[in-house]
A = this chain, B = another copy of it.
Amino acid sequence: MPYTYEFPRPALTVDIVAFALAREQIQVMLVRHDSESLGNPWALPGGWVRVDETLGEAARRELRAGTGLTDVFLEQLYTFGGLEPDGCERVVSVAYYALVNLAGRIVQTRPETGDTAWFPIQEPPEMVLYHDSILSMAYERLRGKVRYQPIGFELLPDKFSLRQLQHVYEVILDRKLDKRNFRKKVLSMEFVVALNEIEKDVAHRAAQFYRFDRRKYERLAKKGFQFEI
């Protein structure tokens, strides 16, 4: 027990809310919590912050360790410092949320086996202590932010069709959008660029692929351009 301080210090953790799109729904990644005592509930992936890494590094490390996910969009959400019930250690948790492009990876959305699983955001399982409120806040942030920041692209592969993009927005905002108005708006953004490539192996007219040009977007944003869907 070598680490000693003059005043008590709360333990510091990161927790990550990883969102992805699968089966027409937003899914969230959960892991089985260690503590067998509490009926083995689900929890957000997370863990202690080491003293030699930044908070963002800790979040990425924990996400990789818990789920194998890497190279994802990651943004700080909020820091939860509520007091624990008597007798528990004081824990302060810095929550992050991640947007994951599953890009066709096979996703098992029901926790039949294994200790990580994706759950539809509409029907999360019972979760460890405050994780349900972290999850709610993260989803609220996603819904709010997706309209004013180009983060919807993060849930899609690099190449995507406008149909896929519209679908992302329809699922997150939970309402149908008009196809013509949506295309008009998106195609007016010059950082959504058409590729010389179309869909393959579809049983209907193949759609054009597009990609999100982050550089162009950032140049425009610097000039005062306001993204909006």
Within 8 A of B (CB), among A116-154: none
**Assembly of this chain: how many copies?**
2
**How distant is the Cα of A201 from the Cα of B156 in the complex, in angstroms?**
62
Q: Please name 9 pairs of A and B residues whose Cβ atoms are closer than 8 Å in the assembled complex, sorted by A.
A: A1-B6, A3-B5, A9-B10, A10-B51, A49-B92, A51-B90, A56-B81, A76-B78, A79-B94
Contact residues in B for A3 (Cβ distance below 8 Å): 4-9
Within 8 A of B (CB), among A167-188: none
Closest 6 CB pairs of A and B: A55-B81, A9-B9, A8-B51, A79-B79, A4-B4, A3-B8
Interface residues on A, range: 20 to 34
Nearest Cβ distance between residue A167 and chain B, in whole angstroms? Answer: 23
Residues of A within 8 A of B (CB): 1-12, 48-56, 58, 76, 78-79, 81-83, 90, 92, 94
By the criterion CB–CB under 8 Å, are A9 and B12 in contact?
yes
Question: Interface SS of chain A: helix, strand, loop or mixed?
Answer: loop
Contact residues in B for A92 (Cβ distance below 8 Å): 12, 49, 55, 94
Contact residues in B for A11 (Cβ distance below 8 Å): 5, 9
Contact residues in B for A81 (Cβ distance below 8 Å): 49, 54-56, 58, 94
**How distant is the Cα of A2 from the Cα of B54 in the complex, in angstroms?**
27
By the criterion CB–CB under 8 Å, are A48 and B7 in contact?
yes
Contact residues in B for A1 (Cβ distance below 8 Å): 4-6
